[in-house]
C-alpha cells in the first residue's frame, strides 16, 4: 500500500531526477495555480490561503491572474462558505479558504450540517465538490481564539474527507486530489509548515486519498503523526537514531479515508506505538488511531499505546504556556524512549 | 420647519460638556494610549514576537470620550483592538504591557495576550478577537442588567468589519425586539485603508453605504459622528446612554475615522516615527508622508488644538502631560520586561472558574 518516500527512486538523488526544492507555501501555490489553469470551473473564495506570514505575498500572483475566480469575501464565514457549497452543488469545483482554522466555527452549520450531509440526504444523487481549507494549530501567540485544530471535531462528522499534508511534496500532490475528488474535503494546513523546504517531483503526481506515507522506516517503535507534528516527529527520530533507537514514522496523510493497513503493518512489525497529534487529547485524532490499533492488533503490542497530544486546555497566549502544551520533538522522543524501556505486557 | 437658530462662531462649543479636570483627563488618556501603542510597535520590531496584534492609534478620540460618557459600573465589551479601552478604564499600563508580553504579572496572567486582554474588575468582562463575536454578548449583558432592574448599561465595541458578520445583525434585531439597554459603538476606520493592496485586510466589504441603515432596518436608531470630534462622540454616547438607561432601548453609533496609515499593513508599523505634539500647531513640521493625516485626520491632535484654543492649557502644560505619560509607559515596559513568565504548570489552571 504505502510507499516510503525513501523507497522512491532509490538509485537517483532528487537532483538527478530533476526534483525541485520548494517551500511548502510555494508547492501549495503551484498546485493552486495549476488547478486554476487546467480547470475553468475552479473557484476560490477567500484569499488568505498562506496565513499571515511574509509568504502570503506568493499567493498574489494567482489572485491577480484570475480576479474573477479568486473572490475576496466580506468577513462573513457562514455566508461565503454557504456560497461555496451552493456553487459546488451547481457544477463548480470550489476551495473555500477559512484562513485561521478557528474561523470555521463561524461556518460550522454549512460545513457539518449542509455540505457533509448533502450527498447522503439526496440518496447519492448529488455531489458537492468543495474543499474547506484552513491553517490549524499553535502558531505562536494565537492564544485561545486563533489556535484551534478542529480536524478531530470534523472527523466526528460523517460525510467529510479529511486530508492533512505534512511536506511540500505531499501538499503538491494532495490538493489536486482534494479538488478532483468530487466530495466535501477538509484540507488541513499549518502555518508552521509554510516555510518547510523539501523536494517536489519535476512532474508532480496526484497522491490518492487513503494512502499513508512512511516518512522514515525503522524497527523499534512506530510513530504515527499528522500535519506539522510529522515534522516535529522527524526531528525526534533523528535524536533517537543517534541514541540507537530506530523509529518508524507513519504519516496517514488522509484520515478520511484512513490507510489502516499501513499503520497496522508497521505496528505489527515494531510492537510499539506512539501516536502524535496536535488536536486535544480527548476524542482527538490520536485517540481514534489508538482505538483502531487496540481493536485490531492488541496481540502484537509489546507495550501499551501512548498518545502525545495537546492537553485538554484552551491554548494560552504566553509563549511559555503555549510551548508547555506543544507536541515538541522532546516530548515525542521522551515518549518513544519510554516505550523502549518500560515493562512489556505480560501475556501468559 | 423651525427657524434656524443663529449661533455665532465663538459660541459654538467644541469641547465635551465636562469640567476642566475631566477635559484634561481625556487628553491625558489619549496621550497615554498613543505613547503606549507607539512603544508597543517598537517593542514588536525589536522582538521577540508576541504574535499578531493591533493598535488603537488614530481612534483615541472615539473610545476615550465614549467611555467617559458612561458610568464606571457600565460594562464594555471590546474586540482585537482593545488596548485603548483597557487603559481608558484605568488598567495599569504595566500589567497590560506584561499581558501583551505573556508575563505572569499580566492582567490575565499571560493567558490572554494582546488579543484577549480583559479586566472584569474594570467592567471589561470579556474581549473577543472573533469578528462579530462580541456584539451579541454585549447585548446579552444588557439583557441581564434589564432583568435585574439595575440601571447599568452595556456597550459593544466593534469595527466596521463586524457589520459583515451575521452575528451582528442578529444581535441588533434581538436587542431591538427586547429593547435592551445596549449601545452598539461601531468604529468605522475603513476609509482610505490600503487594505489588501498593502498585504493587509481588505477594507470593509459591505453593500450598505450607510452602516447605520443596517441597524435602522430593524428599528434601532442610528447616528453617525466624526470620530475625530471628541465632543461629538461624547455627546452621541451620552444621548445613547440616556436612552438605554430610560428604557428607550438600543442605539447604533457609528464613529468614522480615517484609518491611521500605520495600521494599514497586516502588521502595524510606525511609518514616520512617533507623533510630536507640535504637529498640532505646526502641521507643516509633520513628516511629508503623514502630513495630511496628522493635520486633518488625527483626532488626538485636533483635540489638543481645541484645548489650546479654549485656553484650557498651554503648550508647556501639554508637554508636561506628554512627558508624564511617556515615563508611565517606560515604567510599564520596565515592569513588563522584568516580570517573570508564568510557570508552565499554570497552563493547566483556569479551564474552569475557581482554579486559581
Ligand atoms: C470570525 C473572524 N474572521 C476573520 C478574522 C480575521 N480578522 C481579524 S481583524 C479583521 C478585520 C476586522 O475589521 P474591523 O472589524 O473593521 O476592525 P478593525 O481591525 O478595522 O478595527 C479580520 C477579518 C477574525 N478575527 N474573526
Ligand atoms: Mg475596520
**CATH assignment of the domain containing B179:** 3.40.50.970
Ligand nearest to the CA of B157: 1
Residue closest to A96 by CA, chosen among A108, A81, A82: A81
What are the Cα distances from residue B246, in Å, to B74, B151, B177, B238? Answer: 14, 8, 16, 12
Pick the atom of ligand 1 nearest to B129's CA: 25
Same domain, residue pair A66 and A133: yes
Write down the pLDDT at residue A347: 84
Q: Are residues A50 and A90 in the same domain?
A: yes
How many domains does one find in chain B?
A: 1
Q: Kindly state whether residue A3 falls inside one of the protein's structural domains.
A: no
Q: Is the pLDDT of residue B195 over 50?
A: no
Of A177, A200, A223, the last residue of a domain is A200
Residue B262 counted as domain residue: yes
User: With 50 as the cut, is the pLDDT of residue A126 above it?
Assistant: yes
**Residue A12, domain member (yes or no):** no
The answer to the question of residue B17 being in a domain is: no
Q: Which of A138, A171, A200 is the last residue of a domain?
A: A200
User: Which pLDDT tens digit goes with each residue over B254-289?
Assistant: 999 999 999 988 889 999 999 999 999 999 999 999
Q: Is A146 one of the catalytic residues?
A: yes
Q: Are residues A143 and A114 in the same domain?
A: yes
Q: Whose CA is nearest to atom 7 of ligand 1?
A: B131
The range of the structural domain enclosing residue A279 comes to 213-341
- Give the whole-angstrom CA distance, residue A214 versus residue A199: 16
Residue B116 maps to a domain: yes
Residue B170, domain member (yes or no): yes
Nearest to A316 among B111, B132, B164 (CB): B111
SS (H, E, C) chain A: CCEECCCCCCCCCCCCCCCEEEEHHHHHHHHHHHHHHHCCCEEEECCCCCCCCHHHHHHHHHHHHCCCCEECCCCCHHHHHHHHHHHHHCCCEEEEEEEEHHHHHHHHHHHHHHHHHHHHHCCCCCCCCEEEEEEECCCCCCCHHHCCCCHHHHHCCCCCEEECCCCHHHHHHHHHHHHHCCCCEEEEEEHHHCCCEEEECCCCCCCCCCCCEEEECCCCEEEEECCHHHHHHHHHHHHHHHCCCCEEEEECCEEECCCHHHHHHHHHHHCCEEEEEEEECCCCHHHHHHHHHHHHHHHHCCCCCEEEEECCCCCCCCHHHHHHHCCCHHHHHHHHHHHHHCCCCCCC
Rounded to the nearest angstrom, the distance between the alpha carbon of A98 and the centre of ligand 1 is 13
**How far does the centroid of ligand 2 lie from the alpha carbon of residue B142, in Å?**
24
Closest chain A CA to residue B207:
A74
Among candidate residues A200, A235, A264, the one where a domain is terminated: A200
Whether B65 is covered by a domain: the verdict is yes
**Is A27 within a domain?**
yes
B47 touches chain A (CB under 8 A): no
What percentage of residues in chain B have a pLDDT greater than 70?
A: 93
First to last CA, chain B: 63
Check CB contact under 8 Å for A319 and B206. Answer: no
Non-local CB neighbours of B161 within 8 Å, separated by 6+ positions: A74, A75, B131, B190, B201, B204
A207: distance to nearest CA of chain B, Å? 32
Any domain includes B341 = no
Q: How far apart are CA B283 and CA A299, in angstroms?
A: 81
Q: What is the ipTM of this complex?
A: 0.93
List residues, by chain if needed, whose CB lies under 5 Å from ion ligand 2: B 159-161, 189-190
For residue A101, the domain's CATH number is: 3.40.50.970
Other beta carbons within 10 angstroms of residue A208's beta carbon come to 14
| C-alpha to C-alpha distance for B234 and A161, rounded to whole angstroms | 53
Q: What whole-number percentage of chain A has pLDDT above 90?
A: 88
For B127-150, how does the pLDDT look when each residue is reduced to its tens digit (9 = 90+)? 999 999 999 999 999 999 999 999
Q: Both A69 and A181 in a single domain?
A: yes
Please give the pLDDT value at position B196: 47
Residues of B in contact with A325 (CB under 8 A): 347
Q: Do A57 and A184 belong together in one domain? A: yes
* One domain, residues A237 and A128: no
Nearest CA in chain A to B196: A72
Mean pLDDT throughout A95-105? 97
Q: Is residue B283 within a helix (H) or strand (E), and if so which, with residue range?
A: none
B98 close to B339: Cβ distance less than 8 angstroms:
yes
| Residue nearest atom 6 in ligand 1 by C-alpha distance | B131
Task: Flag whether the pTM goes above 0.90.
Answer: yes
Chain B positions in Cβ-Cβ contact with residue A53 (cut-off 8 Å): none
B121's CB contacts (< 8 A; 6+ apart) are none
What per-residue confidence (pLDDT) applies to A240? 98
Contact A321 B110 (CB under 8 A): yes
Top mutation candidate among B58, B80, B83 for ligand 1, by most atoms within 8 Å of CB: B80
Predicted confidence band at A17 (pLDDT cuts at 50, 70, 90)? confident
For ligand 1, say whether the CB of B189 is within 6 Å of any of its atoms: yes
| Residue B75, domain member (yes or no) | yes
* CA–CA separation, A261 and A250 (whole Å): 11
Q: Are residues A44 and A135 in the same domain?
A: yes
> What pLDDT is stored for residue B200 in this prediction?
52
Asked if pLDDT for residue B85 goes beyond 90, the answer is yes
CA distance B108 to B117: 7
pLDDT at A7: 47
Ligand 1 pocket residue status of B130, Cβ below 6 Å: yes
Determine, yes or no, domain membership for A346: no
- Asked if residue B198 has pLDDT above 50, the reply is no
A88 within 8 A of A39, measured Cβ to Cβ: no
**Domain identity same for A170 and A23:** yes
Mean pLDDT of chain A: 95
pLDDT at A8 over 90: no
A324 vs B contacts (CB less than 8 Å): 344-345, 347
* Shortest alpha-carbon distance between residue B129 and chain A (Å): 7
> What residue numbers bound the domain in which B209 lies?
25-271+314-336
Shortest distance between the Cα of B213 and any Cα of chain A, in A, equals 18
Q: Peptide bond preceding B211: is omega within 30 degrees of 0, i.e. cis?
A: no
**Measured between alpha carbons, how far is B271 from B276 in angstroms, rounded to an integer?**
14
Number of structural domains (chain A) is: 2
d(CA A269, CA B95): 55
pLDDT of residue B12: 62
User: Does residue A348 lie within any of the structural domains?
Assistant: no
| Domain contains A156 | yes
* CA-wise closest residue to B301 among B230, B224, B233, B236: B230
Q: Residues of chain B with pLDDT > 90: what percent?
A: 87
A108: in domain: yes
Cβ distance B130 to A311 less than 8 Å, yes or no, reads no
Alpha-carbon radius of gyration of chain A: 20
Burial state string for A131-152 with b = 16 or more CB within 10 A and e = fewer than 16: bbbbbbbbbebbbbbbbbbbbb
Q: pLDDT tens digits for B169-182?
A: 999 999 999 999 99
Please check whether residue B173 lies inside any domain of the structure: yes
Strand order in the sheet with A93-100: A70-71, A42-45, A93-100, A130-136, A185-190, A161-163, A254-256
Amino acid at each position: 500500500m504505502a510507499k516510503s518516500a525513501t523507497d522512491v527512486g532509490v538509485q537517483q538523488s532528487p537532483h538527478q531526477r530533476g526534483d525541485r526544492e520548494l517551500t511548502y507555501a510555494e508547492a501549495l501555490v503551484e498546485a493552486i495555480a495549476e488547478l486554476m489553469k487546467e480547470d475553468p470551473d475552479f473557484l476560490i473564495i477567500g484569499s488568505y490561503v498562506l496565513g499571515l506570514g511574509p509568504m502570503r505575498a506568493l499567493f498574489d500572483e494567482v489572485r491577480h491572474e484570475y480576479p474573477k475566480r479568486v473572490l475576496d469575501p466580506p468577513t462573513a464565514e457562514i455566508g461565503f462558505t454557504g456560497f461555496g457549497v451552493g456553487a459546488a452543488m451547481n457544477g463548480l469545483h470550489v476551495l473555500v479558504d477559512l484562513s485561521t482554522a478557528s474561523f470555521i466555527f463561524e461556518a460550522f452549520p454549512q460545513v457539518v450540517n449542509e455540505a457533509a450531509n448533502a450527498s447522503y440526504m439526496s440518496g447519492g444523487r448529488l455531489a458537492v465538490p468543495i474543499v474547506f481549507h484552513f491553517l490549524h494549530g499553535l502558531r505562536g501567540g494565537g492564544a485561545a481564539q486563533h489556535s484551534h485544530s478542529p480536524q478531530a471535531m470534523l472527523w466526528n462528522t460523517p460525510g467529510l474527507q479529511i486530508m492533512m499534508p505534512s511536506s511540500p511534496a505531499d501538499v503538491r500532490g494532495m490538493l489536486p486530489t482534494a479538488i478532483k475528488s468530487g466530495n466535501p474535503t477538509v484540507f488541513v494546513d499549518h502555518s508552521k509548515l509554510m516555510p518547510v523546504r523539501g523536494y517536489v517531483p519535476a512532474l508532480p503526481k496526484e497522491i490518492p486519498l487513503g494512502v499513508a506515507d512512511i516518512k522514515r522506516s525503522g524497527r523499534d517503535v512506530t510513530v504515527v503523526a499528522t500535519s506539522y507534528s510529522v515534522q516535529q516527529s522527524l526531528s525526534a527520530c533523528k535524536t533517537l537514531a543517534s541514541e540507537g533507537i530506530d523509529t518508524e514514522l507513519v504519516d496517514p496523510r488522509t484520515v478520511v479515508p484512513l490507510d489502516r493497513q499501513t499503520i497496522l503493518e508497521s505496528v505489527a512489525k515494531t510492537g510499539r506505538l506512539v501516536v502524535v497529534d496536535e488536536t486535544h487529547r480527548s476524542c482527538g485524532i490520536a485517540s481514534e488511531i489508538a482505538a483502531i490499533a487496540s481493536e485490531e492488533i492488541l496481540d502484537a503490542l509489546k507495550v501499551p499505546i501512548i498518545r502525545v497530544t495537546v492537553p485538554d486546555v484552551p491554548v494560552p497566549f504566553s509563549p511559555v504556556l503555549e510551548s508547555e502544551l506543544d507536541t515538541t520533538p522532546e516530548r515525542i522522543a521522551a515518549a518513544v524512549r519510554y516505550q523502549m524501556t518500560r515493562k512489556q505486557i505480560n501475556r501468559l | 420647519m423651525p427657524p434656524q437658530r443663529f449661533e455665532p462662531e465663538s459660541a459654538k462649543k467644541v469641547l465635551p460638556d465636562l469640567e476642566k479636570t475631566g477635559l484634561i483627563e481625556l487628553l491625558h488618556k489619549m496621550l497615554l494610549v498613543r505613547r503606549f501603542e507607539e512603544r508597543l510597535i517598537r517593542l514588536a520590531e525589536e522582538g521577540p514576537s508576541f504574535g499578531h496584534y493591533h493598535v488603537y492609534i488614530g481612534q483615541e478620540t472615539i473610545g476615550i470620550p465614549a467611555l467617559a460618557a458612561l458610568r464606571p459600573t457600565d460594562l464594555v465589551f471590546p474586540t482585537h483592538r482593545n488596548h485603548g479601552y483597557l487603559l481608558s478604564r484605568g488598567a495599569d499600563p504595566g500589567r497590560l504591557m506584561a499581558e501583551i508580553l505573556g508575563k505572569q504579572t499580566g492582567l490575565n496572567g499571560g493567558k490572554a495576550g494582546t488579543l484577549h486582554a480583559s479586566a472584569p474588575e474594570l467592567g471589561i468582562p470579556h474581549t473577543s478577537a472573533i469578528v462579530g463575536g462580541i456584539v451579541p454578548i454585549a447585548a446579552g449583558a444588557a439583557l441581564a442588567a434589564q432583568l435585574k432592574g439595575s440601571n447599568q448599561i452595556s456597550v459593544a465595541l466593534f469595527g466596521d468589519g463586524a457589520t459583515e458578520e451575521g452575528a451582528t445583525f442578529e444581535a441588533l434585531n434581538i436587542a431591538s425586539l427586547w429593547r435592551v439597554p445596549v449601545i452598539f459603538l461601531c468604529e468605522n476606520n475603513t476609509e482610505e485603508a490600503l487594505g489588501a493592496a498593502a498585504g493587509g485586510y481588505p477594507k470593509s466589504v459591505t453593500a450598505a453605504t450607510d452602516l447605520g441603515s443596517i441597524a435602522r432596518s430593524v428599528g434601532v436608531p442610528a447616528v453617525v459622528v466624526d470620530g475625530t470630534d471628541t465632543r461629538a462622540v461624547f455627546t452621541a454616547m451620552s444621548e445613547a446612554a440616556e436612552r438605554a438607561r430610560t428604557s428607550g432601548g438600543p442605539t447604533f453609533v457609528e464613529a468614522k475615522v480615517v484609518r491611521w496609515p500605520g495600521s494599514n499593513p497586516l502588521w502595524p508599523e510606525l511609518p514616520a516615527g512617533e507623533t510630536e505634539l507640535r504637529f498640532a500647531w505646526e502641521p507643516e513640521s509633520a513628516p511629508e508622508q503623514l502630513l495630511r493625516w496628522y493635520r486633518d485626520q488625527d483626532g488626538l491632535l485636533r483635540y489638543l488644538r481645541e484645548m489650546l484654543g479654549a485656553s484650557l492649557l498651554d503648550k508647556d502644560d501639554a508637554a508636561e502631560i506628554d512627558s508624564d505619560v511617556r515615563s508611565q509607559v517606560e515604567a510599564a515596559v520596565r515592569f513588563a520586561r522584568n516580570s517573570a513568565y508564568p510557570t508552565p504548570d499554570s497552563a493547566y489552571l483556569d479551564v474552569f472558574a475557581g482554579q486559581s
